[in-house]
Amino acid sequence: MEINILQKQIHKRAMEKGFYDAPHNIGMDLMLIVSELAEALEADRNEDRCDLKAFNEALISEQYDYATCFKKYVHNTLEDEIADAFIRLLDFAECWGIDLQRHVELKMEYNKTRPRLHGKSY
């Protein structure tokens, strides 16, 4: 799926769920992205990882409904928090009129011209 389509879908859902009932500002929105990355770090520090195999097996066996399976095997894991950060980033892009797909393409093309490690030690 194209990034621009996904960001529109994510933003639409955020609006439907009330995340835009109050005014937004760029600083707050950026910090919400950062907070998801901090949660990802904590999940990694706690070695909280997603168990997709168990998640899929529980869904297939109809042992649990989707929400219960998600909470048991996915919620608050490193992978889940990275997904949250990605979702917030795409929502941010749509809210603030950023063509993220185009900017990613531009940056990738520019990065081809840069030296190894972009000239830094790491």
What is the full DSSP assignment across 47-88?
A: T----HHHHHHHHHTTSS-HHHHHHHHTTTSHHHHHHHHHHH
Work out how many domains the chain is built from and give that number. 1
In a domain, residue 119? The reply is no
Q: Which tokens belong to 24?
A: 């937004």
In a domain, residue 42? The reply is yes
User: Rounded to an integer, what distance in angstroms lies between the CA atom of residue 120 and that of residue 59?
Assistant: 46
In a domain, residue 122? The reply is no
Could you tell me the residue range of the domain that residue 91 belongs to? 3-17+24-113
> CATH number of the domain that 10 lies in?
1.10.287
Tens digit of pLDDT for each residue in 68-84?
Answer: 999 999 999 999 999 99
Give every CB contact of residue 120 below 8 A, 6+ residues apart in sequence.
Answer: none
Per-residue pLDDT of the chain (122 residues; tens, 9 = 90+): 699 999 999 999 999 999 999 999 999 999 999 999 999 999 999 999 999 999 999 999 988 899 999 999 999 999 999 999 999 999 999 999 999 999 999 999 999 999 999 999 99
In a domain, residue 89? The reply is yes
pLDDT of residue 1: 64
Largest CA distance in the chain: 52
One-letter identity of residue 20: Y
pLDDT of residue 100: 96
Q: Sign of torsion, CA 107 92 24 40?
A: negative
In a domain, residue 63? The reply is yes
State pTM to two decimals. 0.90
In a domain, residue 7? The reply is yes
